[in-house]
């Protein structure tokens, strides 16, 4: 009996932590986030104008869809889990700014440290970073 427990224990522990990890990964952004951005910004290799946008996660929890105020899909990008160092009182969009160009970096939902970060930098952001420029990260609260 003890031999069976020794053999079975690692399998059960792996299964337990695998299920817990899956639940945690799915606990990112659960609602649509509506945001007003008062400056142009880049998502991937697209430059988007200032305006009102809606962000929502697809069922896979790895794809985020971004729509403009007319409901048109303007961007689709892959995301990964990101944990903020504080619990936001409002939803937040986090940008990295290089000179006059801002790049969407992370999104957090009101009341949750768990959010998402874009998985890939745009070619332009990578180019600026490779030139030795340092992006300044800042968060913009949404009502």
Average pLDDT over residues 106-135: 92
Mean pLDDT of the chain: 84
Q: Is the dihedral of CA 97, 98, 102, 108 positive or negative?
A: negative
| Contact by Cβ (8 Å): 112, 59 | no
Judge if pTM exceeds 0.75. yes
Q: Report the distance separating Cα 142 and Cα 139, nearest Å.
A: 10
pLDDT of 75 over the 70 cut? yes
The pLDDT value given to residue 29: 85
* pLDDT attached to residue 61: 78
DSSP state of 135: P
Residues 68, 75, 46: CA angle, nearest 5 degrees = 105
pLDDT surpassing 90 at residue 26? no
Q: What CA–CA distances, in Å, run from 110 to 13, 33, 47, 57, 90?
A: 33, 9, 26, 15, 5
**pLDDT single digits (tens) 82-119:** 999 999 999 999 999 999 999 999 999 999 999 999 99
Binned at pLDDT 50, 70 and 90, residue 2 comes out as low
Residue indicated by tokens 């990112």:
28
Burial class (CB in 10 A: 0-12, 13-18, 19+), 103: buried
pLDDT > 90 in the chain, percent: 68
Predicted local distance difference test score (pLDDT) of residue 60 = 77
- The residue among 7 and 123 whose pLDDT is bigger is 123
pLDDT in tens, 40-62: 999 999 999 999 999 999 877 79
């Amino acid at each position: 009996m003890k031999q069976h427990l020794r053999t079975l224990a690692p399998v059960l522990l792996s299964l337990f932590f695998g299920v817990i990890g899956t639940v945690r990964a799915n606990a990112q952004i659960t609602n649509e986030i509506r945001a007003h951005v008062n400056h142009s910004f880049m998502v991937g290799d697209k430059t988007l104008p200032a305006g009102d946008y809606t962000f929502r996660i697809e069922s896979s929890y790895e794809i985020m869809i971004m729509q403009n105020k007319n409901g048109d899909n303007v961007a689709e990008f892959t995301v990964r889990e990101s944990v903020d160092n504080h619990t936001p009182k409002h939803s937040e969009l986090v940008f990295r700014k290089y000179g006059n160009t801002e790049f969407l970096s992370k999104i957090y939902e009101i009341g949750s440290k768990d959010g998402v970060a874009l998985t890939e930098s745009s070619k332009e952001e990578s180019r600026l970073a490779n030139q030795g420029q340092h992006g300044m990260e800042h968060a913009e609260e949404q009502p």
